[in-house]
Amino acid sequence: MSRMEQNRTDRFKTAILLTAVAGLTGGLAFYVAGEPDFANLIWIAGVVPALAALVVEILRSIGRGEVGLDIVAALSMSAALVFGETLAAAVVAVMYSGGTFLEAFAEGRARREMHDLLSRVPRTATRHRNGGLEDVPLDEIAPGDRLLIRQGDVVPVDGMVASDTAFVDTSALTGESLPVRLAHGADAMSGSTNAGEAFDLTATREAKDSTYAGIVRLVEEAQASKAPMSRLADRWSLGFLAVTVSIAFAAWWFTGDPIRAVAVLVVATPCPLILAVPVALVAGLSRAAHFGVLIKGAGPLETMARIRTLILDKTGTLTDGRPQIVSIDSHDGMAEGDILRIAASLDQASKHPVAQAIVAAAKAQGFSLPVPSEVAEFPGEGLVGHVEGRSVIVGGDGFVASRVGRMVGDHPAKGAGSVLVAVAVDGHMAGHLVMSDPLREGAGAMLEGLRREGISHILLATGDRADVAERVTEGLGLDGLRAGLTPDQKVLLVLSERKHGPVMMVGDGVNDAPALAAADVGVAMGARGAAASAEAADVVLLVDRIDRLGPGIEIARGARRIAVESVVAGIGLSVLGMIAAAFGYLTPVQGALLQEVIDVAVILNALRALRIAPHDPATPKPKAVSSGQADLAQGATP
């Protein structure tokens, strides 16, 4: 439904409510003035529009193959009019129209944070062109365009920071309360806000393919979705309808008093089943989005709440996915900074991930990198070239050693999962850069939190070697490790684990997409992951932090728990009210008032899902490293 159609619907519901309220209050005024006949006519006039609108809605629902408890509301108003209980009918009309109005208001409140996301979509961007600046529509931006992001501007497309530094506020997308510092070459996510000085951005995607455009699409899908629990509530509503009619008929049959049947019907109008579930689940979607966890609809959220088995990919998911320098060893007395600067200068000529990580580390240290010359790249082995007139070789230890006439030795820092980059200058081995793909910060705390949330079985699935996976995950307390897996073997693992209960799979690469699609809930690292995995997933983590998975599951379980509590309490109170009405303890007017109190309480309880405060584990402090290497260890990370 479009925004214009939604506004028309809301205005119509408001008009029906005002008409019903006017009929009720006007009739009461005439009744107090001693004019009961006029009072009855005004009460009827207030009921008829509400009843007509309700009948039309029922017919539309039946046309869609849906049968709900709106029928009870129509029966109660019709029966009250037929048996002369016009005041009760007027009260029911006010209460029902008020209930639908309150439901619309509650759902609108629950979607507010999602609408805030949509309202932030920029329409234009400022592009550098021929030495000047021009404002262009978002659709005209192409990868490679250099954009100016002014202070306070929303980043229009995904890109890389082209200035030295940038400070961006991602709170609207990820829930991060503090601005994030991005170094030159770091990825900037569309939808974040420039919280510092103006900076330049090199676009890497078109607007329609950027993160923010994907969020908009996913929000629209989420709002239109229907959870399994909501469909189950529809089936329950049929049973409740049968129980309501049976109690009303029995009260009339055994007492001969039709007013008792009317009272039973109005107590059951409307039912908390059709109000509590959608309000609570949509509120949960909104709350999860606030913490950077975008759930593609109420169905995945409800399934997410029942997960007991978690399968994690390693590279880019449990680990950072980008090699980082952990130490620099000098062999000929050359300063560590000089080794890094010279290696990075030559590596500018390569697109290999390790080479790019070395370049990023050097730039993060503020080194000015000269342009290399006479570069020859040997794929998978290394590079040979000249930097500032000096002959430089950078690459694998064996490749460099063979070029300088040295034997390859066992480097003490090289272990499973580490990458050893050798650097030779003017025919002599200058030193080594030791690099590794570290475990993500907060991964251990996240797994502990998930176990507290009821995740009983946690597995690692990776295509990497077993020794590398064991070293990286040592001490995490995983329940199983499956190494050397191909994409189809990951799918088989997911399917085998599904036999024991719902399975969640977390990954970030194209090779993870089949397993994400096969899982009950697939989770993609959307901030830096592949587009294929994000499309196949049911949940996308908008911030590049695995520890956001814990708050997402906690919110899903909290929203589902609140929905169930609301349904059980609402239905229980309604049944007790119907029994009391059947035994003559409630009049139709009293029954209508009681049911409205129940409905208001149920909706307000469902809205508690907007206030779920998940445990957000603090990010561990980085370990200190010697010789000023603290910054080098983060060289590839903004």
Positions marked catalytic = 313
Residue 225 phi/psi, 5-degree rounding, is -80, 165
- The SS3 assignment for 195 reads coil
Dihedral angle sign, alpha carbons of residues 73, 76, 82, 87: negative
User: Read out DSSP for 253-312?
Assistant: HHH--HHHHHHHHHHTSS-THHHHHHHHHHHHHHHHHHTTEEESSHHHHHHHTT--EEEE
User: Read out DSSP for 374-433?
Assistant: EEEEETTTEEEEEETTEEEEEEEHHHHHHHHT------TT--TTEEEEEEEETTEEEEEE
Q: Give how far the C-alpha of residue 450 lies from the chain's centroid of Cα atoms, to the nearest Å.
A: 17
* Distances from the Cα of 410 to the Cα of 328, 398, 401, angstroms: 16, 11, 12
> Distance (Å, rounded) from C-alpha 167 to C-alpha 350?
28
* Structure tokens, 593: 């008032």
The separation between the first and the last C-alpha atoms of the chain, rounded to the nearest angstrom, is 41
H-state helical runs in 147-272: 171-174, 211-224, 228-255, 258-267
> Distance (Å, rounded) from C-alpha 31 to C-alpha 589?
15
- The SS3 assignment for 438 reads coil
> Distance (Å, rounded) from C-alpha 543 to C-alpha 170?
9
Using CB atoms within 10 Å of the CB of residue 129, give its burial: 0 to 12 exposed, 13 to 18 middle, 19+ buried.
exposed
* Listed residue (123, 164, 114, 117) closest to 141, CA to CA: 123
DSSP 8-state class, residue 320: -
Contact 562, 608 (CB under 8 A): yes
Non-local CB neighbours of 502 within 8 Å, separated by 6+ positions: 303, 306, 307, 308, 309, 520, 521
> Distance (Å, rounded) from C-alpha 58 to C-alpha 52?
10
* HSE-CB for 74 with a 13 A CA cutoff: 15
Q: Kindly give the interhelix angle for 273-290 and 112-119, rounded to the nearest 10 degrees.
A: 50
* Structure tokens, 532: 């294929």
* Distances from the Cα of 102 to the Cα of 17, 64, 97, 105, 601, angstroms: 10, 24, 9, 5, 11
Which residues share a beta bridge with 201? 147, 161
* Listed residue (219, 216, 167) closest to 191, CA to CA: 216
β pairing state of 521-525 and 503-507: parallel
* Structure tokens, 263: 């009272």
* Listed residue (383, 417, 386) closest to 400, CA to CA: 383
> Distance (Å, rounded) from C-alpha 567 to C-alpha 239?
14
> Distance (Å, rounded) from C-alpha 230 to C-alpha 277?
6
